[in-house]
Structures are given as structure tokens and as C-alpha cells.
Amino acid sequence: MPRKPKDAPIVCEHFTWYLRRKPSGVYFADGRINSQYDVGKPSLGTKDREEALRRLRELDLQKAIEVGLVEIVDQSVPDDVELGRGWQLYMDRCEQPEILEGVSEGTRKRYRAVRDKHTTFCEEKGYKTWSTMTKKTTKEYGVWLAKKEYADRTIVLELNVICSIVKWLVEEEHLPPSCRFLLKLSKPDGTTTFCYTKQQVTRMIAFCYASPTLVWLGQVITALATSGLRINELAKLRWTDVDFPSNTIRLTDERARPRRKQTGQERRIKGKRGRALPMHPAFREVLAVLPRHRDGLVFRGQKGGRLSDRRVLEALQGRVIEPLKDEFPTPEGEIGFANGTIHGLRHFFCSEAYRNGAKDAELLEWLGHRDSEIMKLYRHLRREDSHRRMEQINFLDSDDEEDRESDVA
């Protein structure tokens, strides 16, 4: 019977080690490969391999000090960081201007939600410092979230945030380098956003135009469905962004324009990437009937105020989808018309444009994305499209088929 191959030695900063296990399962470091120095076979005091590797790096420095390779004054291992303190440090960093690695208020809001859940998890498990946030415990947090039925995308987002905080704390020397780890997470396929059909969008628009108090919402739905704009982009759209001679809508990110920020009209585009897109005739027809206001904004709410993401969503779901949901029933347990959102109109735009021949390069430009992989989330090809496409494919030469039939006859 062939002998089991030994594990490869681990080369640390000062010494080379073999990572071994005692019969009890506890790891120990075998440093006898270093013939010049006697570093022995000290126990690492843990059965967890990840924790053993972390302690091995600390042991490597400790032994280097003992044999005189490193002076104690050179030892600069940071202290541990209490969980609440670490979160506060990271959130303070996020509060900085974006040019100094700060993030937007929307991102900070998401981070605060992650902080609250992560804090609850750590309190339940008894974790009190950031050095306990290893690959193993971070995965444990993911399992905890899954048991509470959070979506896969939420879990991936939250675990990435924890990894980022640990990395940042190490870079800022609040934690020793040995605390850093890499957690590979696969992005979930698919999307939970419902994509409307052409019939549904047409019906919603007609329903809105039939009610004087919903005409504004019909105009918003039309604009979103024929442009692919995000609702916050439509809300900040100004007449100066509309180039009528070239029939083009031009969007620019305005983070670098302090005057816009001071007036509260600063436009922030996701990805910080401006774009230009051709104007659809239906979009232009909406613009033709809209009055112009002194603030330069194109679209308004029901009472003439500025559009609010939340209020537009509430109006769509409460005043349009709710009355129409019986016309477009949603199967039990499925995502359907009753679950429609404002963002679903962006998915509708992408799907219909692709279905009518738009290329990936065009869609990337119109939607403002860099990665073609993201387009897979927006394209919702329907079953009838697949059937129609299959029927159009000529797998067999029809002329040969007719010749064979005549030969048989």
C-alpha cells in the first residue's frame, strides 16, 4: 500500500513549517526543517485549520524574536478590535468624501443594515472582537442569514462587506495581517425582479391616463418603459439633458459639481458613468405635453412636486397594480404582476429592446453598464419567443426532404 504523501511545507516570513495534527486532532507546527535554528514542535492549540494557520504566522514571529532574528522593538502586531469599535471605524471611513474612499448615503444605509444584523449574530454566538471574524465564522454568519430566509444576493452582499471590513482593518493596522482571509463567493444566477409584458405595460398606461389624478404616473411609466432609465435618473432629468435636434438624452454624473450639490439637484449615476441614449418617439410625445418649471426638472409628481422613488413605487403598487392584478393573475408561489416594481420597467425595456434586435453593445450603452454579464439579469426571454425561434430554424434541407418523398413515391 503506497504511503500517504506529506503536506507541503508552509513558508512563513522567518521560518518554514510543517502543519501537523496530533491524534487528538489538535494542530501543531513542526519546525525541525529549519536546521539552523531550534524552533521545535509547538502546539497551536486548535483543531480548526484556518485558526491554526493564523496562529502559525504569529508563532513564526514569536520564534524569530526568541532566536534573535527580530528585535522586540520591531514587533508591531496591532491590538485586537472590539466589534462595535471596528464597525464605528469603518462607518467613519464611509462618511468621508467619496474622493477619499467615502461612499454615498444609499450605500451607508445598506451598511448600517448589515451592521445591525451582524451585531445581533455576534451577540448570539458570543463573538466580541474582529479577530474572531475568520473565514469559518463569516461562513457561519452566512448560514445564520440563510436560516432567517434572506435572499442569496443579500447573503453574498453581507459576507462581502464583512470581508471588506476585515481587509480594511488590517490595512489600517487595527488588526494583524494574519487576520486577513479570502472568501470566494459565487454570485447567484437569475433575478427576483418581475419583468412586465407589453400587454401589461400598455394596460397600466391606459389605466393611468383614464384617471386625471394618475396621468402623471402614466407619463412616468411611459418614460421608464421606453428609455430604461432608473427612477432616480428620471426624477433628476432636466430639460438641458434633452437634445431635441439630435433626438438624444444625455446623462452626466455630477459628483464633481459643487454647485449642483449645494442646490440639492446633484445627479449621481450608479457606476459614476454618464451615457447618451436615443429618444424613443413615445418618450418624445410625453415631453411634448409637459410644462416647463423654473427648476428645470422634466417630470413632476401628482401635485407638482419632485418625484420621490418611494412615493412613485407606492402609487404604482397601490393605485395601479392592485386594481389590475385580477386581470393578470399571479400563480401561487410565483413572482408575477402582483409583485411588480418600478425597476421592473427597466427590465421590460431591456427585454423588449433585445427581443426586437438591439445588440448587447447598444444595450450596455443605453443602460449604462460595463459588464455584459449583467445583461443576463435584465433579458427575460419568454417561452413563446423560444418556440417561435425554434420553428424558424431549418435543421433539415426542405428541398432534399421533398426529393426523398418523391423517390419513395
Comparing 73-87, 96-110, 117-131, 310-324, the range with the smallest average pLDDT is: 73-87
3-state secondary structure the chain: CCCCCCCCCEECCCCEEEEEECCCCCEEEECCCCCCCCCCCCECCCCCHHHHHHHHHHHHHHHHHHCCCCCHHHCCCCCCCEHHHHHHHHHHHHCCCHHHCCCCHHHHHHHHHHHHHHHHHHHHHCCCEHHHCCHHHHHHHHHHHHHCCCCHHHHHHHHHHHHHHHHHHHHCCCCCHHHCCCCCCCCCCCCCCCCCCHHHHHHHHHHHHCCHHHHHHHHHHHHHHCCCCCHHHHHCCEHHHEECCCCEEEECCCCCCHHHHHHCCCCCCHHHCCEEEECCHHHHHHHHHCCCCCCCECCCCCCCCCCCHHHHHHHHHHHHHHHHCCCCCCCCCCCCHHHCCCCHHHHHHHHHHHHCCCCHHHHHHHHCCCCHHHHHHHCCCCHHHHHHHHHHCCCCCHHHHHHHHHHHC
Which position has the higher pLDDT, 397 or 112? 112
Domain C-terminal end among 74, 101, 119: 74
pLDDT tens digit sequence for 111-160: 999 999 999 999 999 999 999 999 999 999 999 999 998 888 889 999 99
As a whole number, mean pLDDT of residues 267-294 equals 86
- Residue 152 within a domain: yes
Are 113 and 150 part of one and the same domain? yes
**pTM for the predicted model, two decimal places:** 0.62
pLDDT band at 185 (very low <50, low <70, confident <90, very high): confident
More confident residue, 178 or 261: 178
> Would residue 407 count as lying in a domain?
no
Cα(159)–Cα(140) distance, integer angstroms: 10
Residues 42 and 115 in one domain: no
**Taking 50 as the threshold, does the pLDDT of residue 306 lie above it?**
yes
Q: Domain count for the chain, please give it.
A: 3
pLDDT of 389 higher than 90: no
Residue 409, pLDDT score: 47
Chain segment 198-235, per-residue pLDDT in tens: 999 999 999 999 999 999 999 999 999 999 898 988 98
Q: Are residues 124 and 225 in the same domain?
A: no
Characterize 124-156 residue by residue with b for buried, 16 or more Cβ atoms within 10 angstroms of its Cβ, and e for exposed. Answer: eeebebbbbbbbebbeebbebbeeeeeebebbb
State residue 386's pLDDT score.
53
Query: Which residue range forms the structural domain that includes residue 273?
Result: 198-385
Average pLDDT over residues 306-327: 93
* Residues 381 and 241 placed together within one structural domain of the fold: yes
Dihedral sign, CA of 264, 270, 275, 278?
Answer: negative
List, for residues 353-382, the tens digit of each pLDDT value: 888 888 878 888 888 776 655 555 555 555
Do residues 263 and 352 both lie within one domain? yes
Per-residue confidence (pLDDT) for residue 328, from 0 to 100: 94
Average predicted confidence (pLDDT) for the chain: 83
Question: Are residues 263 and 301 located together in one domain of the fold?
Answer: yes
Please give the average per-residue pLDDT across 47-71, as a whole number.
85
Q: Is 233 in contact with 253 (CB distance < 8 Å)?
A: no
Q: What is the pLDDT of residue 4?
A: 46
Q: What is the pLDDT of residue 24?
A: 86
**Percentage of the chain lying above the pLDDT 90 cut:** 40
